[in-house]
């Protein structure tokens, strides 16, 4: 198998779960939060900071909060340096073969790769809120609805900043799925069938 599946997703639409199950069924590697750990392993940025900055644009945080090195904020915004390093890792993973990559503008980073299938997941706000409430997350906002909407705004800003495109716009993807309609299992199967059909057609 050669296909690389990138999954963009609205917060609470089930992107992580869909990606994990899909990778498991196809027998290929899965990358989501692991990408954060892979950047952290290089030693320049603390993993806790990378988690806080994940898919966010913020150039106003002092460098000593983010790095173990003497890196200067005047050389390059920290969020940019994290993004470009993560982009390098994503490209290298794609060269290794088939995999599933969730978020982090992977659809854009790999847009010229002929083996990529770009997926975007969305859903009804009430369903997305309910899914996150069931996870008992600790949030800063006053309620989960606000947290879901704010997270979507941050992802949209991150995507536009690094791609110049509109996050969630159908033109950027090969397949857009409403998980409120299909559910997680059927969504996994739909993507799987598309990937297998594509592989057979090569």
Strand partners for 184: none
- Taking the CA atoms of 87, 4, 56 and 32 in sequence, report the sign of the dihedral they define: negative
How far apart CA 91 and CA 85 sit, in angstroms, is: 10
The per-residue pLDDT for 71 is 40
Residue 170, domain member (yes or no): yes
**Do 102 and 7 form a contact (C-beta atoms < 8 A)?**
yes
How far apart CA 91 and CA 93 sit, in angstroms, is: 5
The per-residue pLDDT for 60 is 42
Q: Give residue 51's pLDDT band: very low, low, confident or very high (50, 70, 90).
A: low
- Which structure tokens are listed for 49? 């900071």
pLDDT per residue as tens digits for the range 22-41: 999 999 999 987 776 776 66
- The phi and psi torsions of 116 (rounded to 5 degrees) equal -95, 135
Residue 188, domain member (yes or no): yes
pLDDT above 80: residue 115? yes
Residue 69, domain member (yes or no): no
Residue 122, domain member (yes or no): yes
pLDDT above 80: residue 78? no
Range of the domain at 169: 4-34+86-201
Q: What is the mean pLDDT of residues 163-173?
A: 95
Q: Please give the tally of structural domains in the chain.
A: 1
Residue 40, domain member (yes or no): no
Residue 41, domain member (yes or no): no
Greater confidence (59 vs 82) lies with 82
Residue 51, domain member (yes or no): no
DSSP alpha helices (H): ranges in the chain?
15-26, 34-40, 47-53, 78-96, 106-109, 125-133, 144-163, 179-201
Q: Give residue 142's pLDDT band: very low, low, confident or very high (50, 70, 90).
A: confident
Residue 62, domain member (yes or no): no
CATH, residue 152:
3.40.50.300
**Do 114 and 202 form a contact (C-beta atoms < 8 A)?**
no
Find where tokens 């854009």 sit. 108
CB-side neighbour CA atoms (13 Å) of 63? 15
- Which structure tokens are listed for 58? 């913020």
């Amino acid at each position: 198998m050669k296909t690389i599946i990138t999954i963009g997703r609205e917060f609470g639409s089930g992107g992580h779960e869909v990606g994990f199950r899909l990778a498991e069924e196809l027998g290929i590697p899965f990358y989501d939060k692991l990408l954060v750990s892979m950047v952290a392993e290089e030693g320049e940025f603390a993993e806790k900071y990378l988690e806080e900055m994940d898919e966010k644009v913020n150039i106003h945080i002092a460098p000593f909060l983010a790095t173990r090195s003497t890196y200067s904020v005047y050389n390059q915004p920290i969020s940019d340096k994290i993004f470009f390093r993560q982009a390098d890792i994503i490209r290298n993973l794609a060269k290794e073969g088939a995999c599933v990559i969730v978020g982090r503008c992977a659809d854009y980073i790999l847009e010229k790769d002929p083996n990529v299938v770009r997926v975007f997941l969305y859903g009804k706000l009430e369903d997305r809120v309910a899914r996150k409430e069931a996870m008992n997350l600790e949030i800063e906002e006053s309620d989960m609805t606000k947290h879901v909407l704010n997270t979507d705004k941050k992802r949209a800003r991150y995507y536009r900043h690094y791609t110049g495109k509109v996050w969630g716009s159908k033109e950027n993807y090969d397949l857009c799925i409403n998980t409120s309609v299909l559910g997680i299992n059927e969504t996994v199967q739909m993507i799987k069938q598309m990937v297998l059909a594509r592989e057979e057609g090569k």
